[in-house]
Structure formats: structure tokens, C-alpha cells
Amino acid sequence: MEPAKPPVDIREGISVIFTEEQIRARVQELGEQITRDYAGGNLVLLCILKGSCLFMADLARAIALPLRMEFMGVSSYGEDTKTSGVVQITQDVSTPLADLDVLIVEDIVDTGLTLSYLQEQIHTRRPASVRVCSLLHKPARKVREIHIDYLGFTIEDRFVVGYGLDWSQKLRNLPFIGEVTDPSKPR
């Protein structure tokens, strides 16, 4: 057997932007607001994979209503940390969305290209209503206007990681949201 490698601290070289406590408090507020707004409705939370998985898991537990959960996989082609607006659905929902109150749960609205494409797609499925809940919004990079009904935090034009958001598919498991300040550190 190979000798054990020294453990890697994935938090090294990352500065915290929103702590676990700040995220927990904001998600709780959003959950309470959604609970009030959707009482008596037919709510389905639509998680946009992969970035929204942690947010959705916590948000669902902060909503005190009967609800469904659906998952949609999307990939946007572009260079490295930029989206191109060419979006491909890599995994579709498992139940029809017709007559349901769809709440799209996103990790971040950056240019808005992914979400504007997704909204068009979802409208063709004839849901009763469609709203957007996004953990983060980076208005500085807006290309398409997106109305965000439930927003966690607004951020500056920085590339953020953690709490579901990745950096080359890693760092999603950080419990906080941060910025990579030292890209040379092993992850």
C-alpha cells in the first residue's frame, strides 16, 4: 500500500465572504418568506444541478409546506469561468411540471444567460406559475435581465466558491462562500 499522503486543507488560500451562520440565517428567512407566499399552492422546488444542491437541501428544510423536489442538470459551454449562453439540458425532471407552482432554485445569477434559457424551457411545460430563487446575484455581469423573486445575497464581480459553487468541479463542499485568493494551493 502507498504511504498515506498528508491531509490537504481545502480552506487554505480562500477568504470567506459569507459565513455558515450568515448563510443559515438568510436561508431561514427565505424559507419563511416562501412558506408565507406559497401557502395553499402546489409548490415544486426545481434544483438546477449541480451548484444549487446544498442550497436547495437547506432551503427545502426551511419551508414549512408540502412540496415536491425536482432536479434539472444544465451545462453551459464557455471558456473556463465564463458562460456562453449555449445551454444544454443534461438531465430533465422526472414528473411533468404542468399546473404546478415551479420555484427555480439557482446558486447564482451571473450573466443571466442560463436562467433566461431555462425559464423559456420551463414555460413550455405549462406550469401554473414560475418564480426564481437564487442564493447569489452578480449584477455587474448582467447580459439578460432576470427578475429574482427570492434572493440570498448580492455580490461584487468576483468568482466565488463553496456551498455548492465549484472551481473546476471542486470546493463545492466548503460550508461557507468564499473567494480563492491563492490559486497555487493544492485542493
Interaction site with ligand IMP (CB under 6 A) = 51, 76, 83, 106-115, 159-160, 165-166
Instruction: Return d(Cα 110, Cα 139) in angstroms, integer.
Output: 7
**Paired sense of beta strands 86-91 and 101-109, if any:** unpaired
Shortest distance in whole angstroms from residue 76 CB to ligand IMP: 6
Give the integer Cα–Cα distance in Å for 73 and 178.
Answer: 24
Q: Compute CA distances 71 → 11, 21, 26, 148, whole Å.
A: 29, 26, 23, 19
Least separation in angstroms between CB 49 and ligand IMP = 9
Residues constituting the chain: 187
- Comparison of 38 and 138: residue with beta carbon closer to ligand IMP: 138
Nearer to ligand IMP by Cβ, of 101 and 107: the residue is 107
Based on the residue annotation, tell me whether 107 is a catalytic residue of this protein. Answer: no
Output 35 or 141, the one with its CB closest to ligand IMP: 141
Whose Cβ is closer to ligand IMP: residue 38's or residue 176's? 176
Q: Minimal distance in Å, beta carbon 82 to ligand IMP?
A: 7
Considering the candidates 107, 110, 149, 182, report the single residue annotated as catalytic.
Answer: 110
C-alpha cell at 177: 462562500
Q: Which is nearer to ligand IMP, 27 or 115 (CB)?
A: 115
Q: How far apart are CA 35 and CA 18, in angstroms?
A: 24
CB of 112 to ligand IMP, least distance (A): 5
Residue (of 154, 153, 150, 176) closest to 165 by Cα position: 176
Q: 154: left (phi > 0), else alpha (psi -120 to 50), else beta?
A: beta
- Count the Cβ atoms, other than its own, within 10 Å of residue 114: 24
CA quadruple 167, 72, 35, 57: dihedral, nearest 10? -50
Q: How far is the CB of 152 from ligand IMP (least distance, A)?
A: 13
Active site (catalytic) residues: 110
